[in-house]
Structures are given as structure tokens and as C-alpha cells.
Structure 1
């Protein structure tokens, strides 16, 4: 008797794919809805099939939120989220080569002293936080900086080598920031791991704390479990003595990292408990303090409260914070631009498109490349340009054109 052919498996529906993507991301329906400016009931309707597949702008939002491709949601392999949402910097191939190049032959050059490396890293941080196209400016410095730091770490020994490792860890932080929000997630993870390894090899609690802050961004963007991020930040915090401004600033920054992690997963009580710790550290440092390159201070703590309220679906409270935020307390154009974008996101969640476009324009003037590589901006501009308030559609289209976003 011949064996009967097995029936073909029933293809997954769009609703089933979206539900699976949300479960994998570990988000509740209320949190997922808030992140895309919709209600929990809307998410439920999408997942049970009573609401059909949304249009492309919303598909892009969902794919970005769930850290997957549009094809994972639609089943259509011809569509890729990165095609629509992630811009590639022209210098990305150069940075990639710098990260993946290994000099195996002997290097007869004199190693650069750790103090010189540190000075070059400080200069790069100043360029990163300054006005203008910060990514483009540091892209020209990073290949040589990474190569020279690698050579010094291999050639020096003792205290000089440890100091060079601290500088190398910061060079990797800068590289990670350059790579963020570009189609290179593997390189972002690589630089995060290398910076932590350098910090541990340096046996420097401060360097480890800085690496933990940036690794938290990697884990958060990858939707890793909050517990993974919290454990890392708590372990790094425990290494700091808090007996100096620098130690206290890094400790406060790690409390902020945990607060952001909990807010993204909807755990409001835990989020604000850790934010209070960060706020206390900022107050102890004084209203005019800002860390020279991590930029921790009162302005940053207040600014990230906007993001936390947004992630917790509290746009009204986010705007209350934004009204009182003093951007002059934040000595970084990139950070000022980011907090302006987050304020625009709060207005967008309340369907206040005029205010959202105005703030995005202001963020563009503050730091063009911050806006160009911001995922929220790239997702929302096509919708504002076609379905936003009529009086700002032209402005939204013009800004989208500047960013290279298809409308």
C-alpha cells in the first residue's frame, strides 16, 4: 500500500506572524501599541485578524519595534525593512575594513604613548558631540585611531598598556556610536564586545562602567531580556567607589541604563526607582556638571525621562518634562538633537503633527546626522508627508528629501 502524501503545512497568516514577533520581543500589547502610537486593542485586532495588514509605514514601525524584517511579518521575501529604514553612511565600508583588518606581520613602528592616544580620543569625542556632521568627522579619524590603539596595546606593557587599553575601549565606543542605526548590527555587537574586553583587560572599573553603558544600548536595541541588561549594569556599578565626580557620574549613568531598560519593557515602578537613583547622582554632582564624554548630568537625566515616558505610553507626561528641559545643560549637539526627536515622538503619539514636524526641523538644525540615522524619524516622516496636517506636509516632504527617505 503506497504511503499517502502528507498535506502541505498551512502557511502562517500575517496575524500569526505579528503575534509571534511580539512574543519573541517580550513586549505586552499595551507597550507594543504605545511604541507605534496605537492602542492595545489595535494590537489585539492585528493579532486576531479582525484588523487587516496595515500600510507600509506601519509595517516598517512594527518590524523596527520587533527587531525583524518586514518579510518576517508579511511572508514576502521581496520586502526588507532595512531597505526602507536604515541609511548607510558612505564611510561604513571604510570603518568595516578597519574593524576586520588584522596586522599579523611585525610592526616596527614605535608604539604611540598611552597619553597621546588618550588625547586623540578626547579630540574625537569633542568632534562627536559638536555641531555639524559628527559621524562624517570622526569617520576620518577612526581607522588610524583603531590601528594605532591596537599596536600600542600589543607593544606596551605594565601601566602603559593598561592606559592604552582604556583609550582603546573608548575608541571602540566611538566606533559603536558611528555604526548605530545603520545596517550593520553585527559590527555594533562586535565593537561593544571589544570595548568591554579592552576595559576588563585594563582592569579599570571606570572603563568597565563606560563599556557597560554602551553594551546596554546593544542589548536594549536587540530586545534582550531586561534581566540581562540589569545584571550587567548592576555588576559594573558595584565596581565603582563613588568617591569622585567621575565615579559618581558613571554610577549614575548605569542607573539610567537600567531605568531605560525597564521602561522599554513596561515595568514603570522599577524604571522610575532606578531613574530616581540617577537623578540623585546628578543632583549631587550639581546643576552645571556634565561628564566630558559620557555627558552624564542633570540635563541628560531629565532628557531621558522623556524617552521613558514615551516608552511607557505617557506622552502627556513626556511633554511636561520637555517643557521644563533646559537643553543648555547638555553640552552635546547629538544628545540635544536626540531629546528633541523624543519630544517630537511624544507629540506624534498625541497626533500633534505640526509640533512634531517643527521639532524634527529643529533637531535637524542641531545635528543633521543624528536625525538622518534616527529610526523614529525615518519611520514617521513618510506618514507626516502624506497624511499629516496639510500645513506641514510640504515641510515633512522637504525634510524627508534631506534625509534620503522615500515618501
Structure 2
């Protein structure tokens, strides 16, 4: 009688190759992101050289956007989620509101003005609260249900389009809440519903924001989806172009935000010239806005362009340029706690690329001070912290361990 053979475990190198192929990434591209040669990567994938040390494993995980480190290593004792944060306690309630479409209305929908007032307060809270998911997670279920009800009860075509624009904006807020949480299908569902509601509204600003969020979702899915991200952005920019000359500031701002997204994706590809060309276009768009303007959804405005420059340089793996841009960007205040924390994380990535890990850790500490929740959900920050817990310097190990406790990577 034949005996069932126990399947051999998948080797580390095989996992790297599988994940790289799924991401649509060539061996030279991944090797370049790691600062290694394609031949070194081939030897890793074929098992000709040993499994690298933790810092290199973490950099591979970052480049491949591996959500759980165990998926890369095969070691369940290393089940650390990098690019996915802890599920927020409000996630089930938000998910239920998104998934449910009540067909029978037993109450009157709030007025359009009332809904817009609540939305404005929610966006304000998102920018001012150190733990913004805590705040907007409590507000979203009722907002979603009321905005859906408002669309259903609209009694004219004009009122229905306005209600759809409001519903789209509620979905945009929900997309920020759902990002980096352990339900990627829900995130895509929200993104698609936001786009449908925006298109039904025929509102240029809503359509532009929906495209901005959709482009991010595509890009974060990996290099195989970069082309889709570009298509969404370019189509939205063509659509918005006739509205720019006499358009209100939010429409001008979303156009600039989309231009930056095009540059961001180009930087992910390693296309330096295209990335900076798009950043220049976005910078010119920002200069057309009031000096104190700050878009409540995308954070786009004059104050954010320095932070965007840091991101472009970091994604291009240009450590020295990242640091130069970080020094320049710090001259401008960012009026949003989570966006400031995100900027600090990008600065930290730049400092680590430039061989300044001590400064990177200090900068991550500043990110935590600005918005603790943002750093807890950020895979780049988590990777740097974990890598530095293995540093040779006792001082760096101690500082990294303290940060790891703060963000929930290690028990106190």
C-alpha cells in the first residue's frame, strides 16, 4: 500500500520567487530595490546561498509588500504583520454599515446641510486626533447609513446628484479608515462604491478624489497594477482639465494631488525623470492655491509639497536627496497630525537609506508623538523598527525596542 509522502516545505528562496512573480516584479528590479545584484537574488531564490539575516529579510518583505512576515519566511513564529495594521475595534460596525443596504426606510434622512456638517467635523477630527481611526470609526456607521438613506429619498435629479456626492465623500472617509486593516476586500469594495457614487454625482471634485484613492489602491497592489494606477490618474486629469480655469480651489487641488500620484507611481517604477517631472507639475498647481490652503481629503496644498518631495526621493531609493528634501520640508508646518506622522515616517526611511539609522529612529519617535495610530499601521515604520532591534549598537537596539513596545510589535 502506498504511503502518503509528506510534502517538502517551501524554501525561503522559492517563497521570494513566488511572491516576486505574483507582484509582477522582475529579478533585476527587486535586486535593485534591495541594493543587490540580480545574480545574488538568483542565488537566494535557487537556494545556492543561505537565508539572509533579518535586516535583509525585512527589506525583501518591504519591497514585495509582504503583509505577514511568515508568508515570506514560512516560520509561523515570525507571524508579524508588516503592511497591515491591527484590526480596529470599530471595523465590524463599519463593515456592517458598508455591507448592509436596507430597502425599507422607517425614518426621514437628515438634511443635506446636516450631513455635510457632520462630514466636515469628521474630516477635522481625522486631522487633529492622534488616533483618528478611533474617532472616525465611531462616526462612520451612522454617516454611511444616513448618506445612503439620503440618496434613496432624494426627490429630484439635482438633489440625487448632490446626495451621491455626499455619499461618495463618506466612502472616501471610510477608505481612510479601512486602509491597512485586515480586510483588503472591504477596502476595494469601499473604493469601488466611492467611484460609482462619485460618477453618479457628476461632480468633478468627487470624481477626482475617487480616482485619487483608486490609484493608490492599484499602486499598493504591486507593480503588476502600476499601469492601472496610471490609467486612472491620466483619465481623471483629462476629465478635470476643462474645469480648471474657472474651477474652485478643491478642484484645482485634486488635480494637483493626482499629478503627485502619477509622480509617486513613476518613482515606484524607478523612473526618476518622470517622477520629478510630475512633482514639478503638482508644485505649480499648489502655487495657484491660497498659501494656507489644505485639501481636507488629500492633504494637498502648498504646505505638503516638501513632504511629497521626500516621498518621491525615498521611493527612488535616493538617500542623500531624501535627506536634503527632508531638511527643506521641515521649514513648513503640516496642519494634520496623521499626515505629519506619515511625513516623519518618510523622513525616517530617507535617513535610513542615507546610512543614518540613529536619526531614523529619532524621527520615528517624532512620528509616534504626532499620531501614534499612524505609525502602528505603517509597514515601513514597522520594518525599520524591527530591523534596528537587531542592530549591533546597544543604544540603537534599546531605542528600537522601546519603539517596538510603543507601536505594539513587542510586549512591554
The two structures have a TM-score, normalised by structure 1, of 0.89
Q: How many corresponding residue pairs?
A: 401
Report what 1:226 is aligned to: 226
What is the CA distance between 1:172 and its match in structure 2?
1.0
CA contact (8 A) 2:82 2:379 kept: no
How far has the Cα of 1:82 moved from its partner? 3.3
After the TM superposition, which residues 11-160 of structure 1 pair with which residues of structure 2 at under 5 Å, given as runs?
A: 13-29=11-27, 31-33=29-31, 35=33, 38-40=35-37, 42-55=40-53, 58-68=56-66, 69-70=68-69, 72-74=71-73, 80=79, 82=81, 86-104=85-103, 106-157=104-155, 158-160=157-159
Alignment partners' CA distance in 2, 1:92 and 1:58 = 33
Counterpart CA distance in 1 for 2:394 and 2:304 is: 34
Paired position in structure 1 for 2:262: 258
Q: Report how far residue 25 of structure 1 moved.
A: 1.8
Secondary structure of the corresponding residue to residue 390 of structure 2: helix
Asked if 1:270 corresponds to 2:270, the answer is: no
Instruction: State the secondary structure of the residue aligned to 1:27.
Output: coil
**Using a 3 Å threshold, how does the CA distance of structure 1 residues 379 and 308 change in structure 2: closer, same or farther?**
same
Structure 2 CA distance for partners of 1:192 and 1:84, relative to 1, 3 Å:
closer
Q: Give the conservation status (yes or no) of the 8 Å contact 1:337–1:367.
A: yes
Structure-2 separation of matches of 1:194 and 1:363 = 32
Which structure 2 residues correspond to residues 157-176 of structure 1 after superposition, within 5 A? 157=155, 158-176=157-175
Does the aligned pair in 2 maintain the 1:347–1:355 contact within 8 Å?
A: yes
> 1:259 deviation in Å?
0.8
Shift of 1:57: 5.8
Residues 1:242 and 2:240 are matched in the alignment: no
Deviations for 1:1-57, whole angstroms, at most 9, x for unmatched residues?
xxxx9x999876432331332233233556535655x43455444234343223456
Whether the aligned pair in 2 keeps the contact of 1:91 and 1:139 (CA below 8 Å) is yes
Query: 2: CA distance between counterparts of 1:342 and 1:34?
Result: 20
Mapped to 1, the partners of 2:82 and 2:379 lie a distance apart of 12
CA contact (8 A) 1:255 1:277 kept: yes
Give the alignment partner of residue 311 of structure 1, picking from 303, 306, 315: 315
**Shift in CA distance, 148/311, structure 1 to aligned 2, threshold 3 Å:** same
Gaps of 5+ in 1: none
Tell me the distance in 2 between the aligned counterparts of 1:361 and 1:379.
14
Tell me if the contact between 1:299 and 1:330 (Cα under 8 Å) persists in the aligned partners. Answer: yes
Q: Which residue of structure 1 lines up, in the alignment, with residue 180 of structure 2?
A: 181
- Calculate the aligned-residue CA RMSD, in Å: 2.7
- Offset of residue 393 of structure 1: 2.6
Partners in 2 of 1:8 and 1:365 — Cα distance? 50
8 Å contact 2:262–2:275 — kept in the other structure?
A: yes
Q: Greater shift after overlay, 45-54 or 69-78?
A: 69-78
Counterpart secondary structure, 1:263? helix
Q: The residue matched to 1:209 in structure 2 has which SS?
A: helix
Deviation per CA, 1:150-193: give whole Å up to 9, x if none.
11111113222211211111111111111111211111111111
- For residue 380 of structure 1, what is the aligned residue in structure 2? 384
Give me the TM-score of the superposition, normalised by structure 2. 0.88
Judged with a 3 Å threshold, the aligned counterparts in structure 2 of structure 1 residues 27 and 242 are, in CA distance, closer, same or farther, namely same
